[in-house]
Amino acid sequence: MRVLITGGAGFLGSHLCDKFLAEGHSVIAMDNLITGSTRNIEHLAGRDDFLFIKQDVTNYIYIEGPVDAVLHFASPASPIDYMNLPIQTLKVGALGTHKVLGLAKAKGARFLQASTSEVYGDPQIHPQPESYWGHVNPIGPRGVYDEAKRFAEAMTMAYHRYHGVDTKIVRIFNTYGPRMRLEDGRVVPNFIPQALRGEPLTVFGDGLQTRSFCYCSDLIDGIYKLLMSDEHEPVNIGNPTELTIREFAETINRLTGNTAGIVVQPEKRIKDDPQTRRPDITKAHTLLGWEPKVSLEEGLTKTIEYFRHRI
């Protein structure tokens, strides 16, 4: 296939580029580099089967020749990014999704929308199945991301139902791995550099808020399987193993050999920040035969090595 990946210079987008090239497809990566970096794809430069286009996907998109699949991963994704870039986040979820769906329709390509567990908001059901409609504050500070992704899902299904586009929707839960940005603001790129510098890890509040962490290669494998499937409605992809932020910090200290411990700060909770997050992956397991394979310790070890060379 000839595949277009928007956000192709980002953390997940660049890993997708690697996956599709490894499977024998050719890849066009599109990114305006607002949060992505050419560092993530520099190892692909010069390949005949890879093309990078610097472009904002909210503008008209022209791709010469056939396109067999479009994967829409362009968007700020961390709270720091989408709170600093609220208008851009809304635009890429709305206008950008419209542009890439139009391209998929024109090319007769299958389409995959990168959605998020944030469509569930601060959930009142745990773990979260795809049938849960969510608990989202549309005018809160996180609403720019939550509602952009919810709108993108609605538009994706509209193009499927009205235009017959072969669409897929993946709801991505917390994912980590090499190529995350140091200044990302999420817990993995916050904790690991602190540990490698021999500093105590900063835990806010009681540290009992929970998250589940999926290593990037597992997520990419699930996305690839979803694109190749016949499923059109949303599918959760994530690791259902849940642990507290305090437990996560203790694990990173142990793996890095950091003896500085943990320092507790007053809770710095962003309004509407979810207290729990864990995917119900029954659908992914049943329909795709997918489940995560990389253990937390294995994934963190690889991620720590990446950050060791970056700080």
pLDDT one-digit tens code per residue, 200-246: 999 988 888 888 999 999 999 999 999 999 999 999 999 999 999 99
User: What is the residue-averaged pLDDT of the chain?
Assistant: 95
Listed in order, strand segments (DSSP E) in the chain are 2-6, 26-31, 50-54, 69-72, 110-116, 167-172, 175-176, 201-204, 210-212, 214-215, 235-237, 242-244, 262-265
Cβ neighbours, 10 Å, residue 211: 23
Per-residue pLDDT band for 270 (boundaries 50, 70, 90) equals low
| Predicted local distance difference test score (pLDDT) of residue 147 | 97
Q: Above pLDDT 70, what percent of the chain?
A: 98
Q: Above pLDDT 90, what percent of the chain?
A: 90
Cβ neighbours, 10 Å, residue 261: 11
Has residue 271 got a pLDDT over 70? no
Comparing CA positions, the residue from 295, 6, 9, 5 lying closest to residue 179 is 9
pLDDT one-digit tens code per residue, 76-111: 999 899 999 999 999 999 999 999 999 999 999 999
pLDDT one-digit tens code per residue, 9-48: 999 999 999 999 999 999 999 999 999 999 999 999 999 9
| Predicted local distance difference test score (pLDDT) of residue 267 | 67
**CA atoms of 239 and 75, how far apart (whole Å):** 22
Has residue 273 got a pLDDT over 70? no
The answer to which of 46-50, 210-214, 290-294, 304-308 has the lowest mean pLDDT is 210-214
Has residue 168 got a pLDDT over 60? yes
| Predicted local distance difference test score (pLDDT) of residue 272 | 60
Active site residue 145: yes
Has residue 275 got a pLDDT over 80? no
Q: What is the pTM of this model?
A: 0.96
Has residue 310 got a pLDDT over 70? yes
| Predicted local distance difference test score (pLDDT) of residue 207 | 86
Comparing CA positions, the residue from 1, 2, 64, 61 lying closest to residue 31 is 61
DSSP-derived secondary structure for 252-271: HHHHHT--S-EEEE---PPT
Per-residue tokens: 90: 């809304």
Distance of CA 105 to the CA centre of its chain: 24
Crossing angle for the helix pair 216-227 and 11-22, to the nearest 10 degrees: 60
Selecting among 82, 145, 159, 176, the annotated active-site residue is: 145
| Predicted local distance difference test score (pLDDT) of residue 140 | 92
Q: Could you give all domains of the chain from N- to C-terminal order, each with its CATH number?
A: 2-175+214-240+279-288 (3.40.50.720), 178-210+242-277+296-308 (3.90.25.10)
Partnered with residue 111 across adjacent β-strands are 70, 167
Has residue 185 got a pLDDT over 90? no
Residue recorded with tokens 């504050």: 137
Per-residue tokens: 183: 């200044």
Has residue 269 got a pLDDT over 70? no
Per-residue tokens: 113: 């929308």
**CA atoms of 134 and 220, how far apart (whole Å):** 25
DSSP-derived secondary structure for 141-204: TTHHHHHHHHHHHHHHHHHHHHH---EEEEEE--EE-TT--TT--SHHHHHHHHHHTTPPEEEE
Has residue 159 got a pLDDT over 70? yes
The answer to which of 55-59, 111-115, 173-177, 263-267 has the lowest mean pLDDT is 263-267
Q: List % helix, strand, coil for the chain (3-state, nearest 5).
A: 40, 20, 40
